[in-house]
Amino acid sequence: MAQAMRPNTAGGLFATDGKPHPLQDTLLAVTLVLGITAFVSAMFHNLHLLSSWAGLVGILTGAYGQWISETTRERFGLILGLGASAIGFFLGMAHGGLFGGVF
């Protein structure tokens, strides 16, 4: 009955290893917030500074989070945040860029 002592973590996509990962979870949350901010603000032409900078920082935090992530749940959320950050970054760059009108 050794299998009765092991936790069943293979049951779903969001299974974790049962250990806390505070740094990875923080990077996940930051990447998701920056990705949503970049994506939503990219829909407005005059917010290109916000969308491009939020997208760039979201891409960097998401890339570092992917590098140190340990579970599928972390990687799944980071990919969603990275995608939203990239779309926001690219649209922000198309609307005026990181320094559009400032320099």
Q: How confident is the model at residue 47 (pLDDT cuts 50, 70, 90)?
A: very high
pLDDT over threshold 80, residue 32 = yes
Residue 54 has pLDDT above 80, yes or no: yes
Spatial contact of 87 and 40, defined as CB atoms under 8 Å apart = no
The H or E element that residue 53 is part of is: helix 48-68
Q: What value does the mean pLDDT take over residues 25-34?
A: 96
In this predicted structure, what is the pLDDT of residue 3? 61
Amino acid type, 4: A
Q: What is the pTM of this model?
A: 0.84
Side-chain half-sphere CA neighbours of 39 within 13 A = 16
- Name the CA dihedral angle for 57, 62, 63, 67, rounded to a multiple of 10 degrees: 140
- Asked if pLDDT for residue 15 goes beyond 90, the answer is no
CA neighbor of 28 nearest in space, from 74, 60, 63? 74
